[in-house]
Amino acid sequence: MAPAVKIAERRKTRQIMLGRVPIGGDAPVAVQSMTTTKTADVEGTLAQIYAIAAAGADVVRCTCNEQEAAEGLAQIIPRSPIPIVADIHFHVEMALAALEAGVQGLRLNPGNLRKPEEIKLVASEAKDRGIPIRIGVNAGSLHPDLYKRFGGATPEALVESARMEIAYFDEVDFHDIKISVKASNVPTMIAAYRLASETFDYPLHLGVTEAGPPPGGLIKGTAGIAALLAEGIGDTLRYSLTADPVEEARAGRQLLEALGLRERKGLDLIACPSCGRAEVDVIKIASEAQAALGDLNIPLQVAIMGCVVNGPGEAREADLGIASGRHKGHLFIRGKIVRVVPEGEMVTALVAEAKKIAEEGIEARLAAADENAEAEAAADRALLFEEKGADANNANEVILRIRNRAKDAAADGDETGEGEDSSAS
């Protein structure tokens, strides 16, 4: 057999951490997508995040454009299976609120958030919390001064925008940075990233902005992203499609596999974080399930959830999953509880069901569900909810801090005479 052909060696960059996901350095190229739900819709956003994670995303971005969104993030973050980056455009207050909510990363648009003191304030707070920031330059929102100076949204103008933002960060000794220089024009995007790669040693997030709906959007995105990856440029990526964000994640994962930058795998295992409702060691169970299922080469999406209260609903896009509750394992297929087993038999039951799905198919296994399983799970959910209440992750404390901070900011604005939209100027 001929030896595998590799594309260009990856360009070495600094490494940052987005939660538990390494970005840059020797880490694999990461896939990102962005939710399309209102972030204040906690359950709807979580359901979309789980679907995005199941499709292959390592990181997800959520908009934080209002206080309700920040409060939603405070409830979403403890339950998200992948790190969350808050998308910030005009309002410095929303960046600070997102940090208070516990996000693992921020994305700032230097074309919209322009006041040096506000930029440095956010960087200082991010530094104190160990949170990285992506400088998200976009050709469509380039600072007017740069547009005039360079005669348009040229590659040089996009890179200069990032350089200016880095200079502000340098003033407060903040270097936990990732950079993107996106454009909707593919040749401009490619040239901008090549220049950024020559100029900075920070990790680069690739993307063709506003690529549009498939199939055209997929073609444009692939033309730009794949060209750069083939040259060894890029540490994370996102397809910006006018489509379900699950399609973005799936396309990103498939592109990396096609280029040999991520391994193909039959099993796709996702797991919730160990939040306040978890009654088992989720990491331990997930590791045992990965070891038991990994060699079976069964093409399934499998979810390991720490709690039956939210788990089956959040991971309803997974083919198969199990959630703990009151010393039991609640086995579910596509969100439907099909069997309840003792906690100590969770992994064994999961493996057995995976084999049966491979042999009989999902519909047959749904038809074979234990008729009492749903009722038993509902009873366990009710008891757990009664024991731990609606706020098992203490999100209300975080929300209170966000609201108090907003009040303080409003009071400061009244004293200085600045309006709520002052940061948009």
pTM for the whole structure: 0.82
pLDDT, one tens digit per residue, over 316-374 is 888 999 988 778 889 999 989 999 999 889 999 999 999 999 999 999 999 999 999 99
The strand pairing partners of 134, in sequence order, are 107, 178
| pLDDT tens-digit map of 86-117 | 999 888 999 999 999 999 999 999 988 889 99
Rounded Cα distance between 349 and 353, Å, is 6
**Range with lowest mean pLDDT among 290-299, 331-340, 405-414:** 405-414
Q: Catalogue all structural domains in the chain, each as residue range(s) with its CATH number.
A: 16-258 (3.20.20.20), 268-388 (3.30.413.10)
On whether the CB atoms of residues 304 and 269 are closer than 8 A, the answer is yes
pLDDT, position 294: 81
3 state SS of 130: coil
Helices assigned H by DSSP within 295-416: 311-314, 346-360, 362-367, 373-388, 395-416
Instruction: Compute φ and ψ for 297, nearest 5 degrees.
Output: 55, 40
Name the residue among 224, 232, 185 with its Cα closest to residue 207.
224
Cβ proximity of 298 and 358 under 8 Å: yes
Counted residue by residue, the chain has a size of 425
How much is the pLDDT for 227? 98
